[in-house]
């Protein structure tokens, strides 16, 4: 990383990751400076063709440079590290895209909300009205649903790049994993998990040239965004298969629904916890603490699972078929409790979660 201009202390700082930017970046920086923002721009390994653009903005703010393209997540973390080392607190940082899709007015409103709600993450939330590219609308709809299910927190625009926060959140944000666009989803997951409020301010929906300037790869970046949840789901599927097979076998042998269900749950929970801790999430949370909390949750899940199973079978539903919807309900409940409470790591680092 190299620095092409000095910085000074500021109350409001705009952090702009930029890869292969055009004239829009100059306009963005000019507009923000006119409204009192200091600007920190991260050249994320752009080609030499963009040199004139970065030369222009370096006269008005700080330009940091990656020698090679490292991804939006890494660019944001580079900027955050620089800001934390070169600016005196207190201040507010607002992340702004380089392509001109965030207006200065919206940036100011999001920043003002973060100033009023220090310690919160404030999102510029688009409502996707007007002419919106299909992949953008569909992608946000899917991630909105996935995030709601996985975190228990409702966020309308999970993919917005306009985000503001106070200086006290920077250490947590720097520690969050993710190199490319998955970093922004991981940020939301970590905030929800740590109990940090996520607030939304409605902003204008702007897509220039059908979002042609976006460097988001629908396949690679989508896979990275959903990777953690998909890995968790795979582990949960293994746990469910173990549980269901054990349940069926024990029922066939003993004919005792309650005993079979409890025994199957104990075995599957042990298998699932082991896989998640050692393979999926590679936790830094204390084994004793997380295991103790896990056992308490397991007991609660088993009780609820058994009572619901008995209720459904009392309605005349086949005991083997009733097991399936019961497990789906318990999956969602277990995920939410573990994600928000049990595996909430200190210091904002990533860690484990497991499904019972």
Instruction: Quote the pLDDT of residue 339.
Output: 59
Same domain, 170 and 239: no
241, 197 in Cβ contact below 8 A?
A: no
Residue 215 lies in a domain: no
**Does residue 146 sit within a domain?**
yes
CA separation for the pair 331, 323 (Å, rounded): 12
Residue 269 reports pLDDT greater than 90: no
| CB 92, CB 197: distance < 8 Å | no
Highest mean pLDDT of the ranges 30-44, 117-131, 235-249, 313-327: 30-44
Flag whether pLDDT at 206 surpasses 90.
no
Does residue 305 share a domain with residue 167?
A: no
Instruction: Select from 165, 182, 209 the last residue of a domain.
Output: 209
**Whether residues 201 and 65 fall in one domain:** yes
Q: What is the pLDDT of residue 349?
A: 38
- Which residues 6+ apart lie within 8 Å of 171 measured at CB? 84, 347, 348
Phi/psi of residue 14, nearest 5 degrees: -100, 125
Name the percent of the chain lying above pLDDT 70.
75
> Per residue in 155-182, is it b (16+ CB within 10 Å) or e — as a string?
bebbbbbbbbbbbebbebbeebebebbb
- Decide if 18 is inside a domain: yes
Q: How far apart are CA 159 and CA 141, in angstroms?
A: 10
Residue 264 lies inside a defined structural domain of this protein: yes
Flag whether 217 is in a domain: no
pLDDT at 139: 65
Q: What's the domain range around 81?
A: 2-209
Residue 144 lies in a domain: yes
Pair 168, 275 in one domain: no
Same domain? For 58 and 85 the reply is: yes
Residue 242 has pLDDT above 60, yes or no: yes
Name the domain boundary from 181, 209, 237: 209
Model pLDDT, residue 355:
38
pLDDT of 12 above 90: yes
Give the model's confidence band at 333: pLDDT under 50 very low, under 70 low, under 90 confident, else very high: confident
| Domain membership flag for residue 126 | yes
Determine which helix (DSSP H) or strand (DSSP E) holds 198, and give its type and residue range.
strand 198-203
Whether pLDDT at 116 is above 80:
yes
Beta bridge partners of 66: 44
Q: For residue 8, what pLDDT is reported? A: 44
- Give 347 or 139, the one with higher predicted confidence: 139
Mean pLDDT of 280-303: 73
Using the predicted structure, report yes or no on whether residue 276 has a pLDDT greater than 80. no
* Domain C-terminal end among 209, 242, 259: 209
Nearest to 187 by CA among 220, 228, 244: 228
Establish if 222 belongs to a structural domain. Answer: no
Beta bridge partners of 124: 201
Does this model's pTM top 0.85? My answer is no
CATH number of the domain at 57, please: 3.90.550.10
Same domain, 190 and 262: no
State the average pLDDT for the chain. 81
Indicate left, alpha or beta for 207 from its phi (over 0: left) and psi (-120 to 50: alpha): beta
Statement to judge: residues 329 and 190 lie in one domain: no
Nearest to 12 by CA among 213, 224, 187, 164: 164
Give the N- to C-terminal CA distance of the chain in Å, as an integer.
44
CA-to-CA dists, residue 203 to 38, 104, 106, 124, 233, angstroms: 22, 11, 6, 6, 33
Encode pLDDT of 128-140 as tens digits. Answer: 666 656 665 666 7
Give the number of domains in the chain: 2
pLDDT at 202: 93
Of the candidates 226, 128, 120, 145, the one whose C-alpha atom is nearest the C-alpha of residue 181 is 226
């Amino acid at each position: 990383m190299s620095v092409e201009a000095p910085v000074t202390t500021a109350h409001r700082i705009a952090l702009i990751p930029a890869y292969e930017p055009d004239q829009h970046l100059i306009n963005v920086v000019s507009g923000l400076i006119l409204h009192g923002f200091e600007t920190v721009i991260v050249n994320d390994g752009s080609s030499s063709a963009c040199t004139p653009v970065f030369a222009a903005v370096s006269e008005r703010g700080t330009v940091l440079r990656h020698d090679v393209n490292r991804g939006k997540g890494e660019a944001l973390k580079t900027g955050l590290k620089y800001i934390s080392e070169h600016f005196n607190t207190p201040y507010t940082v607002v992340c702004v895209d380089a392509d001109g899709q965030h207006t200065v007015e919206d940036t100011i409103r999001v920043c003002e909300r973060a100033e009023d709600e220090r310690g919160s993450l404030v999102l510029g939330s688009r409502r996707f009205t007007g002419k919106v590219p299909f992949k953008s609308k569909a992608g946000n709809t899917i991630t909105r649903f996935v995030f709601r299910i996985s975190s228990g927190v409702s966020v309308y625009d999970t993919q917005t790049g306009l985000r503001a926060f106070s200086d006290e959140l920077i250490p947590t944000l720097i520690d969050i994993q993710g190199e490319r666009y998955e970093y922004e989803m991981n940020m939301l997951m970590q905030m929800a998990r740590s109990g940090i409020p996520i607030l939304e301010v409605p902003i204008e929906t702007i897509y220039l040239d059908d979002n042609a300037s976006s460097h988001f790869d629908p396949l690679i970046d989508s896979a990275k965004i959903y990777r953690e949840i998909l890995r968790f789901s795979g582990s949960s599927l293994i746990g469910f298969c173990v549980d269901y097979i054990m349940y069926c076998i024990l029922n066939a042998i003993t004919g005792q629904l309650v005993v079979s269900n409890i025994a199957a749950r104990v075995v599957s929970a042990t298998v699932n916890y082991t896989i998640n801790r050692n393979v999926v999430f590679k936790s830094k949370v204390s084994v004793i603490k997380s295991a103790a909390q896990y056992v308490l949750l397991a007991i609660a899940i088993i009780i609820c699972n058994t009572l619901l199973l008995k209720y459904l079978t009392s309605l005349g539903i086949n005991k083997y078929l009733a097991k399936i919807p019961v497990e789906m309900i318990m999956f969602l409940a277990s995920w939410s409790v573990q994600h928000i409470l049990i595996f909430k790591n200190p210091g904002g680092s990533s860690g484990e979660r497991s499904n019972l």
